[in-house]
Structure 1
Amino acid sequence: MVVIEPVPSTDIQAKPSKSTTAGDGINSDVLDSGGDGKATASGYASDGYETASETEVGDDAAVSDNTDKPHVELEEVSAVSKDQTYEDALNDDELKQKVLAQMNETKVEGNKLFGDGLYEEALLKYDYAIQLAPEMSSSSEIRSICHNNRATCFFKLGKYEDTVKECTKALELNPSYMKALIRRGEAHEKLENYDEAITDMKKILELDPSSYQSKRTIVRLEPLANEKREKMKEEMLGKLKDMGNTILGRFGMSVDNFKAVKDPNTGSYSISFQR
């Protein structure tokens, strides 16, 4: 008969928790939260950094049971891409110069297309150059030039209202832009907006009193402006007369029953009724 004697149980001492390296699991003691407060499986937040992998860090061999040894933190390894590193190395001034250079290159491409008579394609190039830095103050000069160039394209295409709009945008960025004033004045003349064209010519004379061409244009346009004003006045009076006849006709009268007499001394008018 075989007697099995019981083997005395041995207390298993718990192994000290790992607080310095990544082992088979994630230890919350070494997790570093990022900007959003969330930890990742690598042990650190995923905001551009990653920790050493578990294969690079030993298991139990890297953990000492001697609590007197100093605490060792995992080293963070930067995971910044090459492009990001390059962009970060540029300071603000260099970035602005880079954008301005790209805008100028695009403008030059538009000029070449314009020279080839490809006005629609040139319009797109100028617009792209404008959109590269719509709010950057140092780009205002190039944007103003591109708006004026777009105005010139529209003028060539016979789209004079668009020409006026683009010139106005150019002048908002550069109020003393002579070419934009000249181009807008020409577009206003095409639209028979003679008073507006004269205003632009007078602005040019303020900037350059020796502008003989502007003086000639004003002299040429003033009679046309007066003629247009008189024509508009007659059209307005005609409409008012028709309206008056419609109302007075209900009473058997017309505006012809009323005569306006001008006082030569005061310039005022008196209305008299005639049957």
Structure 2
Amino acid sequence: MVMIQPEEENEETVLQNLPKPQPTASTSKTTTSDTTTTKENGSDSDGFETASERGVSDNEEEDIVNKGINPENSAEDQQQQRTQNDAELVQRGVEEGNEAKLEGNRLFGNGQYEEALLQYELALQVAPQDVPSSVELRSICHFNRGVCFLRLGKYEDTIKECSRALELNPSYMKALVRRGEAQEKLEHFEEAIADMKKTLEFDPSNDQAKKTIRRLEPLAAEKREKMKEEMIGKLKEMGNSLLGRFGMSVDNFKAVQDPNTGSYSISFQR
């Protein structure tokens, strides 16, 4: 009996009989301005979007949508959305400013004036400017900073901060009173009296302002006389240096005050 061996298929025959691979998504074509390249066997971006597959304009559109403004909406709708977004930002700034102000108040109550100043400054930074809802907050923070400086003995800074508070709220009586106190500390009696008189315009029954005015008016008059004497003394020195060349002095001239007007006239005496 004769055994017949099956014919061995060579490698080439096997390869020829294998089914041909079908095109898959991993085979793609990428076209540039001057060349066309075919990627095969998964050598492309493995399913991730490339720059050529997703344009920049799509990204920009996505950014707009993510911000809550749909480019497909009408111009009026987009403007309303922007207005709403702006209002939310303003509200958030006011809320953060109030939180910083309250923390400043707590620190002030503990006598931590330097730390309180920082919190009031933070409130002024986050609270939006030129917005009606934050005007009162900003005015109060400037005033509170002025009081901190008053406690620290920095009277010039007190005057500056209270003046800023009054720019935002001209009828802020507390700011007028505190600024007047700082003016008095610096012996600016005329300015202090002016602040107290302004306070009485808003509150005619303010006893503190009335007492301050009565107390400061004599001091202001004394200071005016002292300044007048100093000015006259300087003028005499200048006059004597000039008149001395002619054998005269300022003693040859006498100032006479008119009792009705309070003005002075000069008369020459030999």
- Give the TM-score normalised by the residue count of structure 1: 0.69
Output the amino acid matched with 2:86. Answer: D
CA distance in 1, matches of 2:208, 2:123: 32
Output the amino acid matched with 1:115. Answer: G
The verdict on how the C-alpha distance between 1:48 and 1:225 changes in structure 2, with shifts beyond 3 A counting, is farther
Aligned to 1:259, the other structure's residue is in SS state strand
Q: Sequence identity of aligned pairs in percent?
A: 64
The verdict on how the C-alpha distance between 1:240 and 1:47 changes in structure 2, with shifts beyond 3 A counting, is farther
**1:198-243 CA deviation, whole Å, 9 max, x = no partner?**
1111111111111111111111111111111111111111111111
How do residues 1-275 of structure 1 correspond to structure 2 at under 5 angstroms? 23-25=29-31, 41=52, 43-45=54-56, 48-49=59-60, 78=62, 84=67, 91-132=85-126, 133-262=128-257, 270-275=265-270
Output the amino acid matched with 2:30. Answer: D
**Paired position in structure 1 for 2:3:** none
The verdict on how the C-alpha distance between 1:118 and 1:242 changes in structure 2, with shifts beyond 3 A counting, is same
Q: Which has the higher mean CA deviation after the structures are superposed, 163-172 or 135-144?
A: 135-144
CA distance in 1, matches of 2:63, 2:256: 91
The verdict on how the C-alpha distance between 1:122 and 1:249 changes in structure 2, with shifts beyond 3 A counting, is same
**1:234-273 CA deviation, whole Å, 9 max, x = no partner?**
1111111111111112222210122234566786655443
CA distance in 1, matches of 2:32, 2:178: 71
Aligned to 1:176, the other structure's residue is in SS state coil
- Give the TM-score normalised by the residue count of structure 2: 0.70
Shift of 1:119: 1.2
Aligned to 2:255, the other structure's residue is in SS state strand
The verdict on how the C-alpha distance between 1:238 and 1:109 changes in structure 2, with shifts beyond 3 A counting, is same
The verdict on how the C-alpha distance between 1:91 and 1:264 changes in structure 2, with shifts beyond 3 A counting, is closer
The verdict on how the C-alpha distance between 1:252 and 1:220 changes in structure 2, with shifts beyond 3 A counting, is same
Q: Work out the number of aligned pairs and report it.
A: 215
> 1:109 touches 1:125 (CA, 8 Å); kept in 2?
yes
Shift of 1:92: 3.0
Q: Structure 2: which 5+ residue stretches go unaligned? A: 1-27, 34-50, 70-80
CA distance in 2, matches of 1:265, 1:101: 61
Output the amino acid matched with 2:148. Answer: C
The verdict on how the C-alpha distance between 1:240 and 1:152 changes in structure 2, with shifts beyond 3 A counting, is same
Output the amino acid matched with 1:198. Answer: I
Q: Structure 1: which 5+ residue stretches go unaligned? A: 1-21, 28-39, 50-75
CA distance in 2, matches of 1:141, 1:265: 48
CA distance in 1, matches of 2:259, 2:217: 27
> 1:26 touches 1:41 (CA, 8 Å); kept in 2?
no
CA distance in 1, matches of 2:157, 2:261: 45
CA distance in 1, matches of 2:249, 2:58: 84
> 1:148 touches 1:166 (CA, 8 Å); kept in 2?
yes
Shift of 1:95: 2.4
CA distance in 2, matches of 1:79, 1:264: 81
